Amino acid sequence: MVRFVTAASLMMASVLSACSGSRVVSDNVSTAYSPLEFSAAAGGRDLATEVYGNPFPIDQTSFDQTVTDLMQGKHFGPPTHFTTTPGESANRRYKVVMVFNPAENIANQQICSGGPIATDKQPGQPIRLQAAFCRGGTLTSTNGWAPAVASPQDSAFRSLITDTTFELFPLRDPNHSDSNCGMGFDC
């Protein structure tokens, strides 16, 4: 039953994202990733979120807040507070990095390195997004895109952030022999 519900949810998300014009492709789930580790690291806590780039004519702080607001509740697992200004509850070993319109494709290990990441700031172009969940190195990463849109309130942009967040925190555990299992479900 769990497999059916998970498959149906993923299929519905795919259908809805196809309608919105955005596309997210999960390209890496490290064997170091565990849904249970994510739960322990971020459940009921702040999760540091670094945002690089800004495809809209708004200030960076407002854009960062918009991105983290769109991420709230859009993942499998316990409630987590995505924020660019983490408080005392944050586990400093973990972070999410969102890179909008990177100047070039970025290797996964570079995304998590904490170094500067060059972005293309030309307005009016399609939006490309590289994102990662990090603990030193990359635990999960994903790539996505959306057509050129005028504001972060556009449904294609909102879907891009929502779908990316779901992909960064998959329910499946790469260390389990059944790739549809995770979070302690009896599969």
- Distances 43 to 34, 91, 95 between C-alpha atoms, Å: 13, 10, 13
With 0.85 as the threshold, say if the pTM is over it: no
Tell me if 134 sits within 8 A of 115, measured CB to CB: no
pLDDT at position 1 is: 41
Is residue 106 scored above 50 in pLDDT? yes
Helix extents (H) in 72-136: 108-111
Average pLDDT over residues 64-84: 96
The amino acid occupying position 68 is: T
Give the least confident one: 14-23, 78-87, 109-118: 14-23
Is residue 59 scored above 60 in pLDDT? yes
% of the chain residues with pLDDT over 90 = 62
pLDDT at position 42 is: 95
Alpha carbon distance 27, 11 (integer Å): 18
Alpha carbon distance 82, 80 (integer Å): 6
DSSP letter assigned to residue 119: B
Helix extents (H) in 74-154: 108-111
102-137-114-90 Cα dihedral, nearest 10 degrees: 120
Average pLDDT over residues 83-111: 93
pLDDT at position 14 is: 45
- What 3-state DSSP class applies to 165? helix
DSSP letter assigned to residue 177: S
